[in-house]
Amino acid sequence: MNTQQLTYVLAVAECRSFSKAAEKLYVTQPSLSQYIHGIEKQLGMKLFDRTLTPIRLTDAGELYVEWARRLLAMEEGMVNALNDLMEMGSGSVELGASSFRIRCLLAKSIAVFHERYPAIRLSIREAEMGTLRELLLSGTLNFAIGTGQFDHKQFHVEPLAEERLYLAVSPRNPICESLPQPLTEAQIRQQDTVLLRCEEVSLKQMQDSSFVAAMEGEYDLESLSDVCRKCGFIPKIGFRVETIETVFSFVCANMGIALLPDSLIRYGNFKEHPNYYMLPDSIGESSISLISKRNAYLPKAAAAYALLLKQLVDVGTWRVGALEEGGMLR
Q: What is the pLDDT of residue 319?
A: 47
Q: What are phi and psi of 211, to 5 degrees?
A: -95, 155
For the segment(s) 1-85, the CATH number from 1.10.4190.10, 1.10.10.10, 1.10.260.40, 3.20.20.70 is 1.10.10.10
Let me know: does 300 contact 88? Beta carbons within 8 Å.
Answer: yes
- pLDDT tens digits along 130-179: 889 999 998 889 999 998 888 989 999 998 888 899 999 999 999 999 99
Stretch(es) of the chain classified as CATH 1.10.10.10: 1-85
> What is the spatial distance between Cα 105 and Cα 98, in angstroms, rounded to a whole number?
10
Q: Domain 165-285 is in which class?
A: alpha beta
Q: Which residues pair with 94 in a beta bridge?
A: 123
- pLDDT tens digits along 77-110: 666 665 664 555 667 889 999 888 888 778 778 8
Q: What is the pLDDT of residue 102?
A: 86
Candidates 279, 294, 161; CA nearest to 224 is 279
Counting Cα atoms < 13 Å in the Cβ hemisphere of 330 gives 6
**What number is the average pLDDT over the span 199-220?**
92
pTM of the model: 0.66
